[in-house]
Structure 1
């Protein structure tokens, strides 16, 4: 049977399965099993068992539940209040004033969470009521939060980078380090846009608040010390080569528990809720990864990735043309699937093309995460939009319109990372040259 017909049939089968509303992992298992049973003469049960065991028995993946648990603990702490009180005195004199708290707050929480939805929810539950009370433009308050919340996917420790690293057998530590500069670049782009917008729309800004004395600002900054200590303990230990991501994740959980206990928010209820939340999320991701691994093996047996890579090669696309096509593909796919599903669904098919084009896989991981970030604020399945819809009561498409400028800024970030790959590669090449 022609490989093209097989690929189209499997693709339609996957879309039909997802359209029924069943779990992504179940759809992956079902389509992969059908492909092996119908198209190749290998024992499907044996392949399924060995593949799922191999995908689950990965030391790198043990960091995943720990980082998720750390984020769940901090989500139930007073971290967002402390960050708002610590950052706001310093933002009052900048163009855009307290709107920058959303951006910097999300950037800081992203460094201890790894989840886009958790970052958005944690910062939003504190900042949105405060900004509304002080008279800030609602459109910009929600837009900055929607865009900045996606930083949870990029700034390490990123859950999606762990998933990508496990799926492509790339160093998770190198991926984490590669995400730092692009994450900072996105923060700068967002803050620059807010500053320019506020100067052009001064009528939409609230009156200036009373200035705060320097000593009072320094005293308020003390509330940031615990979370900064947590970032240094977790991310700093990885950068310094003192700990692997898995070991750093265990340290992070311990520090998060101590931080929650010291702030008076750790009790049996919050502890059990955080543990169960982390368990559910980790099991969901592990199930999807196992299904994706089985799909990868099934695709290998059918020969589709190899044929697809050959076909792409015959088109003689330049790397830039290939990346432009992939960007559109990932954004469209992200309109219907969450970021982790996008990564695990496409890895087996995309990687042969990327390797043939001579693109660095660490760099491609950062590029992919930024594009997936864009899909987090595109309807109908933008996870950040769902979070903000629940928090504000606005229609999801209205929230998407508020987030549109930040979507376009992410497009700029993708262009910059493609045009200047060293934005992502300079730090890992220099810090981990040995």
Structure 2
């Protein structure tokens, strides 16, 4: 308790209670804006809890409630009377409440800081992640009640601002015209799932989206973060370069000729400044054996370095380690953790997912929502589920060689449908084909 010496104000606590006694409006405000933990002095906390329990706040009702709680004699009528006369006006009630919330917040941070130190001594990564998440989501001054009408007004305000600036996207651009048109961009707080069987190009498409999103950002501190548990940062760096400038992957082979290598180095020198300027804003963590706690912790670290995360890419979901009783429950916990990550950092999370082999048993091999591997929770938690499919992988003689389908099978706030993309195999990248086909079928299960 000694450590909280400068983190509470007995006078402010008493004045706030006096305002609530004095003015019914102040009493209602205090009941909604404050909580019992905002009062450090035990006697004042008991009085506030009594106030919360009565419909009309006055000396008689509060005293009776204190008596009912067997606290009346301990507090004493004289102390209650002194509180009643502590202020002559309730005009400063809001200011008192803000001060109490602020001091309460700092007391919580001090307590969690002590707990964080103990978790660090024990090297308990899970506890460290939980504490950091709690600290990041904590705050003060936000005790007012909001309604759906408030939410709708904020949405209208955002749409009006976008239209005034000539922006047709609600979210962050993917760099693909028809995909942006279908999704309205990648929206803050959304969990977007990109799923496919191996070798379809989902890592390449995710990297394309990350590159394109980064190039659209204008604020110096804005960043796109990539968690790659399958490919190293060296491999991703090379792929980003070949994709950006449509360079053949073979140019980076040790078997390429000396002439080709000299030409490659000359191209890199010519493109180097531009590449560094754009791709230098892509943060990468390529550690294997990731957990949700480690991912969240790394995001917090980047945030404390002054970066603002505008998009988080996770490649891929099934490689994240969980702690469930079985793999299905683990995947469910991981998908919920990714959704919380999007909400807490107020940015979209694009998570890649493997599919089961069931789709390969069908004649046309196209994936469905039921193919999401190991857990139906992925479909439930996701705001968008899109399947990547390249027909030529299964049918080499198809007339759609060099093309890919991106099937938006679920979208909470928009249409489902299929987009065609150009597949550039030699550079491992996708480009627009400008074609979007709406589906006429019912929205997918999980639509809400």
What's the TM-score, normalizing by structure 2? 0.23
Q: Greater RCO between the two (CA within 8 Å, min separation 6)?
A: 1
Q: Which has the higher helix share?
A: 1
TM-score of the superposition, structure 1-length normalised? 0.23
